[in-house]
Structures are given as C-alpha cells and as structure tokens.
Structure 1
Amino acid sequence: MTLRVLLLGGTAEARALAGELVGRPDLAVVSSLAGRVRNPALPAGEVRIGGFGGADGLTDFLRASRVAAVVDATHPFASTMSASAVAATARAGVPLLVLRRPGWQPAEGDRWHWVSTLADAADELGGLGERVFLTTGRTGLGTFAGLDRHWFLVRTVDPPEPPMPARMHLVLDRGPYTVAGERALITEHGIDVLVTKDSGGEWTRPKLVAARELGVPVVIQARPLISGAPSVDTVPEAVSWLDRMLGS
C-alpha cells in the first residue's frame, strides 16, 4: 500500500527530506511551496506551488488527497502556515510533525539584543547605530520605512515592494554566505548594527560570526512559538517519525 505524505517546504531541510523519501515504493510524496520566491530551489519529486486558502483549504486538500501524514518543514517564521497545518491536521485526523532546524545560540563576544517583533527591532536601533545591515526579508521592510536618520543595507532574494526605507542600498543575493564575504560587506558599507531573525542553520550564520569579529551589535527577532505538534531538529529524526507513524 502506498501512503501519501505532504511536505510543507521551502527550506533546505525540506529538500533534504524529500530527497530521502522520494522513490520509496511505500510512499507518494508531494512537496508544497508557498510560491513567494520567484525562482525557488525545487525538491525532488512532485511539487505543488501556491497557498491552500488557510486552514479550511488545507483541510479539504488533506481529505481529498487522502494524505496519511504531514511534515511542516517551512521557515521558522512561517507562523501562519504552521498554524494552519496544526488546525487542518487536527480537523482531518492526520498526524503532523514539525521539522525545524535549531535556532542560533550566542557565543562569547556576541552583542545580541533579542526582540519579539520587527517593530521592537526598529525601536531598538535608536541607541545602537545608524548604518544598518537589514536581513529580515523583503516583506517587513515597511516597519523600518519611517527611520529617516538611519541608512540601510538591505539584502533580499527578490526585489522588495514599497513601503521601504528612504535611505537604503539593495543587494539581491541568496545564501550560502561566507564569513569573509560578510565581513567585507559590513566593512565596505560602514555597518554599525545588524538586524536579523533567528532563522537558524548554517547558510546565513556567517553574518553573525562576522558581526562578532567586528564588534557589531545584532538585533535578533526571536522565533514565534509553535504548539500542537511534535517537533524534531533533523531529517533522520523526521524519517524515523514517518516510519513509526505510517508503520502503525
């Protein structure tokens, strides 16, 4: 019997998990991407791009497609999708696992300032610096649009849309990055404060190392809390969970 597994993806971990599962004769795997990035890195196997229409639409999809299990391997800040997954799987009676890479932990020499929201991050900048390296993604730039005395180096994968800071320089780039490259970027633009999110993982960690080496403070947004589902940190743990769940 072939069982259908839905991977809510868009991350390196989701692609790695798809690579482990696609081709197994006991599973039919479909990866779902939100479609917010113009040219996403695609996982192996069947791919679905676009939203479901909230928890109700996802519930209908799970039932119509007879999905046997769901793995939420979305970005740690994709809180709306994660909340929909919790609600929809509960309604449809489908087991759900969250695969989430560990968050970053400060090391000796780090000058981290934790905040809960981007609005808090904007408020925190007042006493830290005026030349800001902003790596929080393109959708939240409007939060910083009113900070006219600050200059922003903004890095995103795709071009952002207004509103955005009046004084800014845009860099379109996608990781992975290197410590040497991040150090050179911070130095070239005279950055005196970094603003980021606790995305975790190794692809974007080098900016934190470079900031530590240069003595640059970091304003870092903490992850939203996700409740209602078991969680694992690694792809092998996710594979083991699926084997246990679907085997039963």
Structure 2
Amino acid sequence: MGSTGEYENQRRVPVPPSKPFLKSLQARLKETFFPDDPFRQFKNQPISNKFLLGLQYFVPIIEWAPRYTFDFFKADLIAGITVASLAVPQGISYASLASIPPILGLYSSFVPPLLYAMLGSSRDLAVGTVAVASLLISSMLGKEVSPTENPKQYVQLVFTATFFAGVFQASLGILRLGFIVDFLSHATIVGFMGGAATIVCFQQLKGILGLVHFTHETDLVSVMRSVFSQIHQWRWESAVLGCCFLFFLLLTRYF
C-alpha cells in the first residue's frame, strides 16, 4: 500500500499557477489573430532593418524583385498568356452576369492580378471576379436601378458596392478574421458551391435562348417563369450555337 501511494504521488502532475486575467486574455487574442506570429522577425533588429522588413512584409515584390531573372520572366510570360486566354472570355461573361458593360469585365480581369503581383505573396493564386459575386450584384442592385433604363447610375452603384466589399474584405484580413471559415462545415461549403453552380447554369439560359429581358432574381421559380413566359422570343440560332459550344467544351475534357 505504501509503494502504491508513493507511485501515485510521483504520477501526479502539478497544476500550473493561474495567470492574471489581462495576460491570459492577451495570450488568447494573440493565438487567435496572430497564430503564425508574423512579427517575430522584427525582434532584436535595428530600426533600419525593421523598416525594410516591414516594407517586404506589406509589399512582397521588394523582397523577390532583386532576384528576378530572365528564366522566371519566360515562365511567367507563358503562365500569363495561359491565364489571359481564360480570363478575357471569363471577364466578359461575368460582366454580362452583373449586367455591366463588357469592358468593365476586362478591367476586372487585368487590374486585380497586376496589383496582387506587387502586394500578394502566393505564386499560384489567380485573382479576379467570380460568378457568385457578379450574380449577387445584379440581383441586389437590379431591384433598385434598372441596368437598361439607367445604365450610368447602375454602374455607379456597382462601383460603390464593390468598393465597400473591398473595404470589408481588407478589414477582415487586417483583423486576421480568416479563422471564421474554420467554423463552416464541409457540407455547408459543398452545398454553397453546388447552389452557386446551379444558379450560374440557369442564368446562362438568357444568352443561350437569345432573350433580351430576363429576371434579376436567382431562385429557380423566377428564372423558369421568366424563360417560359417568353417562348415567342426564343431564338433557335442562339440555342444551336450555344449547344454546339457546350458540346465542344464537354468533349475537350477527354482529350
């Protein structure tokens, strides 16, 4: 019995002393917002090095531009041409989803990657518009201003909406709130992607059938009502051409 008691005393783990509330709160906030501790490289550095490291942290091009070679340029040129071949038609189609002029879709495909090349840190990320955001803009702003009756005011509202969306997104990045995504389950993300793909497919019926007027709603009932209420305006030429391109795209997946 004595040996057993001594063994239990040896196995007993001492309870660490409790920290003050402010220090505990500071440690938890640091673990939440700065899990990778991006400022550890600034410790024990002269002021001049801290300034240079700060510039490299916020403008990464300053760090890798001096090491840029012609071989990197050739690889980047091929990658740029490849991405541009996809981004140009994609930007035009996303502009049509947002009910804005196609030239604005081209701008959104050119300017963001140019800025991200200087301010971003990922080498494999393609930056640009997405279909869901374009549909949300069209659905949200189309209820307030008609893009056909008052296109100038509609474009101004689009600029305002995208500006504040960028402000909110930048604020989330500065506050290191990306961990919120970890609370979204896999089923939620898959369902969102599947729903977005379905909405995009239904919105393409406007172009495939050659319809001029189309609903700004994104639900299935409103889209189907808009399609079948304009049967007399369907154009078989657009339908045949759209089906041929769709068949070609599906066929090229196997070659």
TM-score, normalised to structure 1, is: 0.21
- Of Structure 1 and Structure 2, the greater strand share is in 1
* Greater RCO, 1 or 2 (C-alpha within 8 Å, sep 6+): 1
| Higher alpha-carbon Rg | 2
